[in-house]
Chain A
Amino acid sequence: MKTIRLSTLIGALVIAAPAFAGDPGVTDDTIEVGSILPLQSGLSAGASQYRDGIDAYLKWVNKNGGVNGRKIIVHFENDSYNPQQAVAAAKKLVDRDGVFAIVGTLGTTNTVAMIPHLANRGVPLIGPLGSHPSINTPTERIVFPISPLGTSHGISLAKYAAEELGAKTLAVFYQDDQYGKEILQGVEEYAEENGLEVVGEASYVPSDVDVSAQALSLRDTNPDAVVMAVIPKHGALFMLEAQKLGWDAKFLAPQLMSDKVSLDLGGSALNGLIINLYSAHETMDTEAVAEAKEAMAEFAPDTAPGYWPFMGMSGAKLFVTALRNVEGEPTREKLMDALEALGTYDSGIIPPVTYAPEKHAGPTVFGYAEVIDGEKGEVKVLKHWAD
């Protein structure tokens, strides 16, 4: 009889277990999430600041009571900007550590590589920063982007050149990959629709050690403005070449070109560079920026507030905002429902994102700023994205 009773009890527990068990990573007082970043790679400077932004914001949330009584614990993994390592890190976090969601990835190929595994497990990916349609206009429901489409960058920069600088002719210096080509495509689209002429295009590959030929060839096309679709190292190299040539065209680039690494490398050659803003600038006088800076000052005092920490923080903020709206026990499905209920949402530290059941899209509007003194790291905001 005892055996029958025990068997019945075990059977009842097995049947009832799903009703009591929450999704992985959730306990009564904590929620564990993961973040996969290229902490040992050419992007490590940005990645470590990105990590500090996520970490500082979540610690700040925890200090202020957590989310519905639960503290958020974040586990960081390095993927070395390597797709294989990224997949391995995703498997470790999801299958072994059992995290609830991934909050923050950085880089295109590594993020694209891990998406199928996360989708297969139904794990939300909030705040991936990269330039690829599967990141910025995802078909997988789990992906919630924070960065604009590459073509939007190109359009925003060409538009500023035409409307604010009066440019009629443009040249484009771009990285010969998805990131650079999308920006180039955006510039070409805008130029065609608005009667501008793209008079020169020159590319580089990341292994190039010399971009003087590209600078010479583009200068010879005599454009009114030059749009750069570059990473900091090659953008700085190009601007230094332009400075050597005494080339006085207007130069424009994505916000990446005003981060600390770019300013350190380019120095005064970056003076006058126009950048589009898809994250807040630390000099902006808004409540969200003040809050972000407060969190950074308290929990990551060695990292200056700016582009990278703010981008990292934006994903963490979207996660926390949606999680607060989840009713009852948090599950991954409920979290994705809550994210999709945000609609067009302005976190204040990046331009508004749009999350709805039929559409997950990063920002489509931009602010603008100008590098005033590259040697001193002085950047002036010209226009907020809300203006």
Chain B
Amino acid sequence: MNWLPLLLSGLAVGSIYALIGLSLVIINKATHVVNFAQGEIGMFGTFIALSVLSATGLPVFVVLVLSFPIGFLIGALLEIVFIKPVASGPPLNVLIVTLGLFFMFNSLAGIIWGFDPYRFPALFPTAPIAVGGAAVSPTSLGIIVITLLVMAALYVFFEHTRYGTAMRAASMNPFAARLMGIRVGVVATVSWGLAAGLSVMSGILIAPLTFVDQQMMLAIILKGFAGAILGGFASLPGAAIGCLLLGVMEAFVGAYVDNTIKDSFAFVLIIVVLMVRPQGLFTKALKRKV
């Protein structure tokens, strides 16, 4: 079997995991919880995008670009309506609210759009192209390129803009950030918006490959979470690389070992990594001074 299409296919799926993994890390940095509803927000946004496509006939790339602000609005509204009121309570309360949001979006999608899968228009040509003597899917290449662009944009935002720096400051030390005049509450809202925008984009990128249905993000959120932990949940680049690695490992284990063990293989490997390197593969361990 030619390894190049397999590698690209794994990187493409890993890219989707990475977008979800990044959104989980962004929310975790801002509000110190794991948002279990992240995948369902992506699924819901993808259904909205499909409805917009059907109703308006807009080009699918325009809808992909619009998906970020649509997702941002959903995420920001959720933070203001559901998370802010419970944010001052124990972290478990927020966690339970995200579980509630998971079921709310899951059921709502079923009620509005039904439980059947739908075809989503292709973002890229479907005919394979020859790369290095192998037939490679343009969809895989496209997903990888878009994800890399999104990652680069995130890097520029967090490292080279005042608001990005403020967000990092708010996540490291909210008290000091407040003293410096940063509105930490608004940072949380923006983080939820940013994360939801990424989730909806990931939903739209994967939809032409896997169809749109109420279940479409269930496996992806788990893998995104696992990949982020593999790379390091405290670091955006670490989480992204962990997710890409997970996607590639899955593809090769599925093809060369046994497809039925690829899910368990991924999680067993993560358990081993956590035992040996609890902070993840690509981050430094945090040391606390006492």
Partners in one complex: yes
Q: How far is the CA of A44 from the CA of B110 in the complex (A)?
A: 10
Name the residue of chain A whose CB is nearest to the CB of B222: A207
Q: How far is the CA of A240 from the CA of B207 in the complex (A)?
A: 13
Q: B2: which A residues are within 8 A, CB to CB?
A: 216
A345 at the interface (CB under 8 A from B): no
Q: How far is the CA of A237 from the CA of B137 in the complex (A)?
A: 14
Give 13 CB contacts A-B under 8 Å: A40-B115, A42-B115, A42-B214, A44-B114, A44-B116, A45-B114, A202-B259, A208-B259, A212-B137, A213-B259, A244-B127, A264-B119, A265-B119
Complex contact A212–B110 (CB within 8 A): no
Complex contact A176–B260 (CB within 8 A): yes
Q: How far is the CA of A42 from the CA of B218 in the complex (A)?
A: 13
B30 at the interface (CB under 8 A from A): no
A217 at the interface (CB under 8 A from B): yes
Point out the residue from A41, A207, A217, A237 that lies within 8 Å of B255, measured CB to CB.
A217
Mark out the residues of chain B between 207 and 221 whose CB falls within 8 Å of any chain A CB in the assembled complex.
209-211, 213-216, 218-220
B254 at the interface (CB under 8 A from A): yes
Complex contact B128–A244 (CB within 8 A): yes
Q: A209-B210, A210-B251, A243-B126 are in contact. List 10 more A-B contacts (CB 8 A).
A: A42-B213, A44-B116, A203-B260, A205-B259, A205-B263, A210-B13, A216-B5, A233-B117, A261-B117, A264-B118
Q: How far is the CA of A216 from the CA of B13 in the complex (A)?
A: 16
A236 at the interface (CB under 8 A from B): yes
Interface residues on B, range: 35 or more
A232 at the interface (CB under 8 A from B): yes
A60 at the interface (CB under 8 A from B): no
Per CB-CB distance, the 8 closest pairs between chain A and chain B, nearest first, are A44-B115, A213-B255, A45-B116, A207-B219, A209-B210, A212-B9, A213-B254, A233-B117
- CB-defined interface of B2-41 with A at 8 Å, one 1/0 digit per residue? 1001100100110010000000000000000000000000
Distance from B273 Cβ to chain A, minimum over Cβ atoms (Å): 22
Residues of A within 8 A of B (CB): 40-45, 176, 202-205, 207-210, 212-214, 216-217, 220, 232-233, 236-237, 240, 243-246, 261, 264-265, 267
Complex contact B218–A207 (CB within 8 A): yes
Given A209-B206, A261-B117, check contact A214 B254 (CB 8 Å).
yes
Of B5, B115, B251, chain A has the most CB atoms within 10 Å of the CB of B115
Complex contact B209–A209 (CB within 8 A): yes
Q: B116: which A residues are within 8 A, CB to CB?
A: 42, 44-45, 261
Name the residue of chain A whose CB is nearest to the CB of B219: A207
Given A45-B114, A244-B126, check contact A212 B211 (CB 8 Å).
no
B145 at the interface (CB under 8 A from A): no
B275 at the interface (CB under 8 A from A): no
B186 at the interface (CB under 8 A from A): no
Distance from A263 Cβ to chain B, minimum over Cβ atoms (Å): 10
Q: B219: which A residues are within 8 A, CB to CB?
A: 207-209
Complex contact A42–B209 (CB within 8 A): no
B135 at the interface (CB under 8 A from A): yes
B1 at the interface (CB under 8 A from A): yes
Q: How far is the CA of A205 from the CA of B263 in the complex (A)?
A: 10
Distance from A149 Cβ to chain B, minimum over Cβ atoms (Å): 23
Our count of residue pairs bridging A and B at CB distance below 8 angstroms stands at 94
Q: A40: which B residues are within 8 A, CB to CB?
A: 110, 115
Distance from B184 Cβ to chain A, minimum over Cβ atoms (Å): 37
Complex contact B263–A213 (CB within 8 A): no
Name the residue of chain A whose CB is nearest to the CB of B259: A203
Q: B115: which A residues are within 8 A, CB to CB?
A: 40-45
Distance from B3 Cβ to chain A, minimum over Cβ atoms (Å): 10
Distance from B26 Cβ to chain A, minimum over Cβ atoms (Å): 23
Given A209-B13, A212-B5, check contact A232 B117 (CB 8 Å).
yes
Q: How far is the CA of A232 from the CA of B116 in the complex (A)?
A: 10
Complex contact B260–A213 (CB within 8 A): no
Q: B12: which A residues are within 8 A, CB to CB?
A: 210
Q: How far is the CA of A346 from the CA of B128 in the complex (A)?
A: 47
Q: How far is the CA of A240 from the CA of B209 in the complex (A)?
A: 9
Complex contact B259–A214 (CB within 8 A): yes
Mark out the residues of chain B between 105 and 138 whose CB falls within 8 Å of any chain A CB in the assembled complex.
110, 114-119, 126-128, 135, 137
Q: How far is the CA of A209 from the CA of B42 in the complex (A)?
A: 15
Distance from A79 Cβ to chain B, minimum over Cβ atoms (Å): 13
Distance from A102 Cβ to chain B, minimum over Cβ atoms (Å): 23
Complex contact A220–B1 (CB within 8 A): yes
Name the residue of chain B whose CB is nearest to the CB of A210: B13
Name the residue of chain A whose CB is nearest to the CB of B138: A244
Q: A237: which B residues are within 8 A, CB to CB?
A: 209-211
Distance from B153 Cβ to chain A, minimum over Cβ atoms (Å): 25
Distance from A15 Cβ to chain B, minimum over Cβ atoms (Å): 52
Complex contact A265–B6 (CB within 8 A): no
Mark out the residues of chain B between 75 and 126 whose CB falls within 8 Å of any chain A CB in the assembled complex.
110, 114-119, 126
Q: B254: which A residues are within 8 A, CB to CB?
A: 213-214
Q: How far is the CA of A214 from the CA of B137 in the complex (A)?
A: 15
Complex contact A236–B260 (CB within 8 A): no
Q: How far is the CA of A55 from the CA of B13 in the complex (A)?
A: 43
Complex contact A233–B255 (CB within 8 A): no
Complex contact A217–B13 (CB within 8 A): no
Given A213-B254, A220-B1, A236-B211, check contact A205 B127 (CB 8 Å).
no
Q: How far is the CA of A43 from the CA of B116 in the complex (A)?
A: 7
